[in-house]
Every structure is written in C-alpha cells, then in structure tokens.
C-alpha cells in the first residue's frame, strides 16, 4: 500500500474510534490549561517568539559558520565530533564505536533523531542491546511501537493499557497507579544505568560559542545516561544550533512552556566535553554526531528554510485539528502533525509524502502556537503547489481543476453551471441517488454533508436587494 493510502486507511480507523478521541482530548485539554497558565508569566509571549525567530534565523542562515564554531570550541575540551550525511552513516559511526570499545549494552534517553535513523533496530541486528530509559519511550519499546508524539510518546495510552503492558512484559501484578508504574520503571532501569557501557542522548540545542549541547528533560534519565556510563554519545540534527549560550535563557523557557506547559523543564543540562581534569566523575569519552539526513534539502529551499527553526516542542501537534482526529501513528512518520507534514517531503521525498500537506484544514492554529513563529500553514500550501508543479497530481485532478478554472473565468458558463447543479442536486435528492454508491460525488459526500445549493445566488439576491432599496427611497 502506498504511504498515502495507508494514511487514509489509518486515519479513517482512528477518526471513528471514540475511545482514542477521548484519550487525546483529555491529554490536550490538560496541556492547554497548563500552557495558558505558564504563558501568562511572560509579559510578552509574542515578543519572545519574535526574538526566538530572529535568533534561529541567524543560526540557520549561517549554519556552516556556527557548526564549525561549535566543533572548534567543543573539540578543545576533548569532545570528538563526527559528521554523518545520512542515517546509515550515523548508525555506522555508533556501531564502530561500540565494537572498538566492547559495548554490549547501552542506555538511551529520549531522542527523535535516533527514531529517525532507526538506531534501535540497527543495534539489535548487531547484537547490541539498547535500553530506552525515558518512561514513555521505555513503554513504547516494551510494546514494540513507535512514539505516538514527538514530546509525549504514549499520549494514546491509558494507565490501564500501560499497567497491562507491564504485567505482560515485566510480570508485575496488575492494578498499579501511575506512580506505581513509574516506580517500577525506576527500579528496573536503575540497574541498567549502572551496568551499561554507553549512554546515548539526543540534544535539544547545540550551542555554538561555548561548544555545548543542551538537553531538556523532566525525569533525570538523560542526566544519568550522560553521567554514569564510561562513554556518552549525543546525536543531533545539524539544525539544532543556537549562536550563543545566553540564547538558552530565552529558548529553555519557551521550549518548556510550549512543550509541556511548564515554566522550565526539570533538568536543563549543557554538556561540553568528557570528564575534565579536576572533575570527580563523568564519562571518559564524549562524542557528538552531527546528522544531515535530508536537512540540507530543506535548507536549500529558501522559501521553507525556516522550518529548520523548529525546536520540536510539539505545540503544533497538540493544537492541530487533524492530529486530534487521526492521532500520531496515522502519519507514519517520525515527526507528526503540521511540522511533520511540512518537513517529511523534504526529508523523504515529495512524491511519497505530499498527501500530508493536503490533510489540513489550513486553519493556521499551528502557526499561531509555534514558539518560533514558523509560518507552518503557508508551508503546507507551498508543498501542495510544489507537488502539483512537479506533476505529482493525478490526471483526473488536473482535468477537474482545468475545467473549474475555465468555468470561473466565464460568467455565463458559470451561471449555467449553477443552475444545472441546482437542478441536478434536487433530482439526485428526490430519487435517493445522493450518498448512494453510484452517486458521482459520493467519494466527497461520503464523509461530508453537501449543503443544498441556494435557490437564489448571491448576485441575484444583491441585484434584487438593490432594486428594493431604490424603490423604498
């Protein structure tokens, strides 16, 4: 099945699933309340967005300069910087490192980039055990699923679902509270940190001037992954760059507010090297892998370049009416929601992934909630336009639009068409054709109710109205 048909199939299943919808509504409802509370602590949220947008613009539009600055300053403290053009290269770098250092088991904190490159599957194929330590990701791993949401991996599950998963996979008794479940994970994973040979993390930001990566988390698992094992590897998309350390003073709160409705996430940790002389612990080796994997395609599109400003907060997912109906898994991508729809065609091909840009009401809420003010809904339109001009539309669609185009430019033809449609609709309703399988517009009316075509067009009404006004004078 093509990605587009798969998407359609999965979305229909999810949309009619009322349990799924209720879970999602509860989660996004809680999120909305918390975001409103913490946004109120800014005197000027929108002003913060504009500053953030400016800083990211600066970083992305001088990306080569800032990446090299990062490399220079972090290498001076002993960090080993690797560059990976694609997923295969990134995986290969990690595998080589694991083999050279005799790593059999590694602990991982939450990282969407490692999902993007399918690192876990790759390592398992090579007899290396990756253990996810973020609670949500741990649950996802136990269930052999993919994360449902870039920030909230198990947004689609209830406590009972997770209770059952733990019971089946870990043999714990059923009936646990959320706290009980979290404590089970804590207990199980504690030992993993202490016995793993390597810790792998992502990065929320790359700080160019001081040569650090910054990791945002609530649980402390990323701190443990980067403190206890003897090797720490951070994998980062090249777009994560910020020019200066001080930029974090704005970006950390903005990420926290938009991501989870917190004023600041529990742990924000900047790491700029392995254990230094005079420090009492920490890994002996620190590696940073800078990953391209299609990001430079997006960079080359000046019109949509700003999609690289994304800080992966998930706000556009939570605020998207499509996401709230079809859910995260239907997208079939690592990055879901509006930002996923915008960037996936650049990362994986427009022909295969254009359909996501059409699955939008273009309400523009994604643009409104985005903390770095990416013009998301216009980028969806641009993807649509690009898909058509690249010839990815079907001949029937092209024919329809050509007809529509000529009709709209010819007044008398348009008037005739309106009258004909009105009559056709009346007949269709009278004989019960509408909505039946042989109705020619059935694919459209299948999921929507077509309103009755008005007996009088607006123009006719307007002409009559003007006449009436004149008579009254």
Partner 1 sequence: MSDRASILNRIQNALRTPAARPPEPSPKPVFPPIAPTDLVAHLERELLALKADFHFSSNWNDARQWLKQIADQHELRRVVTSPEMDAVEAGRSLGARTLTGDGDCGRHLADLDLGITTCDCAVARTGSVVLTPQSGFGRALSVLPPAHLVVARKSQVVTDLSDAYKLLQARHGRNWPSMITFITGPSRTADIEKILVLGAHGPKKLFVLLLDF
Residue 136: count other Cβ atoms within 10 Å of its Cβ: 21
Q: Are 266 and 256 in contact (CB under 8 A)?
A: no
User: For ligand SF4, which is the closer residue by CB, 74 or 318?
Assistant: 318
Indicate which single residue of 87, 135, 157, 311 sits in contact with ligand SF4 (rule: CB under 6 A).
Answer: 311
Nearer to ligand SF4, 54 or 174 (CB): 54
Q: CA 332 to CA 355: how far, in whole Å? A: 12
155, 206, 213, 313: residue in contact with ligand SF4 (rule CB under 6 A) = 313
User: Among partner 1, ligand SF4, none, what does residue 339 contact (CB within 5–8 Å per kind)?
Assistant: ligand SF4
Determine if 377 is a binding residue for ligand SF4 (CB under 6 A).
no
Q: Which does 200 bind (CB under 5 to 8 A by kind): partner 1, ligand SF4, none?
A: none
314 binds, among ligand SF4, partner 1, none (CB under 5 to 8 A by kind): ligand SF4
| Nearest residue to 229 (alpha-carbon basis) of 268, 288, 285 | 285
What are the CA-CA distances from residue 77 to residues 71, 193, 246, 286, 457 (Å)? 10, 25, 20, 10, 74
From 312, 293, 169, select the one nearest 251 (Cα to Cα): 312
Q: Is the CB of 60 or the CB of 313 nearer to ligand SF4?
A: 313
User: Nearer to partner 1 by C-beta: 220 or 349?
Assistant: 220
Question: Using an 8 Å Cβ cutoff, are 333 and 340 in contact?
Answer: yes
If you ran DSSP here, which 8-state letter would residue 410 be given?
Answer: -
Q: Which two tokens stand for residue 185?
A: 């994970």
Q: Residue 371 CB, nearest distance to ligand SF4 (Å)?
A: 6
Question: Judged by CB, which is closer to partner 1: 104, or 459?
Answer: 104
Of the candidate spans 270-278, 310-318, 386-394, 396-404, the one that interacts with ligand SF4 by CB under 6 A turns out to be 310-318
| Residue 27: contacted member of ligand SF4, partner 1, none (CB under 5 to 8 Å, by partner type) | partner 1
- What minimum distance in Å lies between the beta carbon of 219 and ligand SF4? 20
**Residue 84 CB, nearest approach to partner 1 (Å):** 6
Q: How far is the CB of 309 from ligand SF4 (least distance, A)?
A: 7
Binding of residue 310 to ligand SF4 (CB under 6 A): yes
Q: Is 372 in the site for ligand SF4 (CB under 6 A)?
A: yes
| Pairing, β 105-108 against β 129-132 | parallel
| Least distance from ligand SF4 to the Cβ atom of residue 306, Å | 10
When asked if residue 110 is in the footprint of ligand SF4 (CB under 6 A), the reply is no
Spatial distance between the Cα atoms of 16 and 105, rounded to a whole number of angstroms: 42
> How many CA atoms, within 13 angstroms, populate the side-chain half-sphere of residue 35?
21
Eight-state DSSP code of residue 263: S
Contacts of 308 (CB under 8 A, 6+ apart): 56, 60, 239, 295, 298, 299
Query: By C-alpha distance, which of 79, 24, 29 is closest to 270?
Result: 79
Phi first, then psi, for residue 201 (nearest 5°) are -130, 170
**From partner 1, ligand SF4, none, which one binds at residue 312 (CB under 5 to 8 Å depending on kind)?**
ligand SF4
Residues 6+ apart with CB under 8 A from 236: 113, 202, 203, 206, 213, 288, 289, 290, 291
Binders of ligand SF4 among residues 328 to 347 (CB under 6 A) are 339
Binding mask 251-270 for ligand SF4 (x = CB under 6 A): -------x------------
User: Using CB distances below 5 to 8 A depending on partner kind, what does residue 473 bind out of ligand SF4, partner 1, none?
Assistant: none
The binding site for ligand SF4 (CB under 6 A) comprises 258, 310-316, 339, 369-372, 374, 376
């Amino acid at each position: 099945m093509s990605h587009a048909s798969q998407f359609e199939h999965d979305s229909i299943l999810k949309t009619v699933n009322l349990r799924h919808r209720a879970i999602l509504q509860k989660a996004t409802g809680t999120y909305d309340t918390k975001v409103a509370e913490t946004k109120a602590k800014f005197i000027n949220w929108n002003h913060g967005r504009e500053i953030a947008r400016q800083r990211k613009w600066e970083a992305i539009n001088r990306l080569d300069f800032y990446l090299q600055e990062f490399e220079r300053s972090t290498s001076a403290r002993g960090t080993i910087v690797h560059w990976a053009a694609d997923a295969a290269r990134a995986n290969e770098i990690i595998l080589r490192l694991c083999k050279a250092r005799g790593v059999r088991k590694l602990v991982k904190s939450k990282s969407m980039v490692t999902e993007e490159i399918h690192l876990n599957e790759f390592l398992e194929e090579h007899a290396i055990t990756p253990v996810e330590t973020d609670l949500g990701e741990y649950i996802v791993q136990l269930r052999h699923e993919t994360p449902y949401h870039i920030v909230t991996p198990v947004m689609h599950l209830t406590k009972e679902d997770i209770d059952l998963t733990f019971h089946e996979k870990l043999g714990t008794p059923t009936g646990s509270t959320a706290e009980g479940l979290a404590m089970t994970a804590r207990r199980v994973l504690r030992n993993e940190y202490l016995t793993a040979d390597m810790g792998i993390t992502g990065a929320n930001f790359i700080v160019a001037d001081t040569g650090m990566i910054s990791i945002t988390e609530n649980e402390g698992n990323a701190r443990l992954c980067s403190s206890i094992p003897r090797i720490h590897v951070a994998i980062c998309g090249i777009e994560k760059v910020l020019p200066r350390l001080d930029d974090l003073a704005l970006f950390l709160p903005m990420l926290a507010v938009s991501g989870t409705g917190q004023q600041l996430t529990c742990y924000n940790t900047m790491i700029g090297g392995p254990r230094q002389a005079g420090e009492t612990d920490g890994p002996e080796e620190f590696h940073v892998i800078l990953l391209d994997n299609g990001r430079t395609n997006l960079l080359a599109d000046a019109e949509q370049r700003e999609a690289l400003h994304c800080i992966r907060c998930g706000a556009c997912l939570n605020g998207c009416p499509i996401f709230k109906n079809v859910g995260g898994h239907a997208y079939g991508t690592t990055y879901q929601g509006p930002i996923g729809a915008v960037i996936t065609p650049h990362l994986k091909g427009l022909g295969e992934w254009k359909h996501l840009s059409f699955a939008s009401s273009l309400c523009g809420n994604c643009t409104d909630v985005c903390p770095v003010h990416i013009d998301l809904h216009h980028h969806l339109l641009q993807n649509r336009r690009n898909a058509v001009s690249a010839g990815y539309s079907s001949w029937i669609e092209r024919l329809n639009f050509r007809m529509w185009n000529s009709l709209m430019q010819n007044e008398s033809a348009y008037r005739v068409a309106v009258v004909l449609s009105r009559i056709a609709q009346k007949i269709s309703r009278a004989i019960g054709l509408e909505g039946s399988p042989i109705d020619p517009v059935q694919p459209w009316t299948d999921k929507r109710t077509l309103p009755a075509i008005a007996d009088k067009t607006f123009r006719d009404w307007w002409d009559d109205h003007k006449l009436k006004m004149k008579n009254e004078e």
